[in-house]
Structure 1
């Protein structure tokens, strides 16, 4: 049965408008994005099948284009639409941080970094560049690959801090394994970066390691 044949108060779009998006299941939210099902399968049924096929919402959202586009009911157009939605969400989070001090909104900072880094398949080292009121001036992904002293160059971080006229920074990188426990190399490169940035009077407020959880160097007393 098509969703248009369902009782009005059971249709995902109408339920969202009446109760808010948080009241919907993952399948119902995905069904609104899909808009239509396939032959013999409503959009909600198709959404349930896709969530089962990919192993959940996060894996579906993080799926590479080829894998995503091969799934029933999807394709390159849907992939492009989804990437646009995800980028809008990231930019919304960035605007939220720009409007207030990151010190006053640590939850927003963590949400932003999780959206940017958590589901990436390789390690990415990034920096939040802040003004003297600790509001976001810029976010840059600077280095890719295994994070160690050979791949993260303090000189480049210093150049970027000067370019953005930053007064402070928050360092961040992800662990694709999902285990956010910092390594010895993570601690060593943090020490080097703190020393390099101190030469230009830029404070390192924190280094956040993103996995399934987020580990804060500042909270552990390592800065």
Structure 2
């Protein structure tokens, strides 16, 4: 991490803040770390482990953002993309566009993710329906939907953990 107010700690994976930082700077540092953890080539062994990084990236939005983590056949990250932006309680998601992006990335698998600005990660009926539509559309292209994560303020709901994908 190349940030002027941050230096490496004595133990690998630890850092020392070398100067006074604002809350905004701390959030930017956290987002930079999250992006790095979701960088191309990183292997995602358990979708729920990606939650903390995705939460950092999506929790501040006051509107719904529907994103996808495109993965190769070894579940290494190809790219993380915010695909659709919506309103405070919904986002229009177009399966055709998700399939186009997945094919353009040459993805073998995908983790779908969106936030709930209300803070409550409980999936709606619309969330369940779009997940099923995306699973069917991507499945026709032999692209596996591994999970759909709904990010709330302090928690996440994994469709895979609830046997919904």
User: What range describes the TM-score normalised by the shorter chain of this pair?
Assistant: 0.7 to 0.9
Structure 2 unaligned regions, length at least 5:
none
Give the equivalent residue in structure 2 for 1:32: 19
Q: Distance in 2 between matches of 1:155 and 1:111?
A: 28
Q: Which deviations, in whole Å up to 9, do the C-alpha atoms of 1:107-145 show, x marking residues without a partner? A: 2x1122111112211110000000000110011000011
Q: Distance in 2 between matches of 1:137 and 1:20?
A: 26
Counting only pairs closer than 5 Å after superposition, residues 14-33 of structure 1 correspond to structure 2 as 32-33=19-20
Taking structure 1 as the reference length, the TM-score comes to 0.61
Structure possessing the higher radius of gyration over alpha carbons = 1
Give the equivalent residue in structure 1 for 2:113: 172
Change (3 A) 1:181 1:106: closer
Taking structure 2 as the reference length, the TM-score comes to 0.80
Structure 1 unaligned regions, length at least 5:
1-12, 35-46, 48-59, 62-80
> Is the aligned partner of 1:91 residue 2:5?
no
Change (3 A) 1:202 1:82: same
Give the equivalent residue in structure 2 for 1:220: 162
The 8 Å contact of residues 47 and 147 in structure 2, kept in 1 or not, is answered as no
The 8 Å contact of residues 132 and 168 in structure 1, kept in 2 or not, is answered as yes
The 8 Å contact of residues 47 and 111 in structure 2, kept in 1 or not, is answered as no
**Aligned pair count?**
157
> Is the aligned partner of 1:203 residue 2:138?
no
Greater strand content = 2
Q: Distance in 2 between matches of 1:221 and 1:105?
A: 13
The 8 Å contact of residues 125 and 172 in structure 1, kept in 2 or not, is answered as yes
Q: Distance in 2 between matches of 1:111 and 1:22?
A: 17
Greater helix content = 1
The answer to which structure, 1 or 2, has the higher relative contact order (CA under 8 A, 6+ apart) is 2
Q: Which deviations, in whole Å up to 9, do the C-alpha atoms of 1:50-86 show, x marking residues without a partner? A: xxxxxxxxxx44xxxxxxxxxxxxxxxxxxx667534
The 8 Å contact of residues 48 and 158 in structure 2, kept in 1 or not, is answered as no
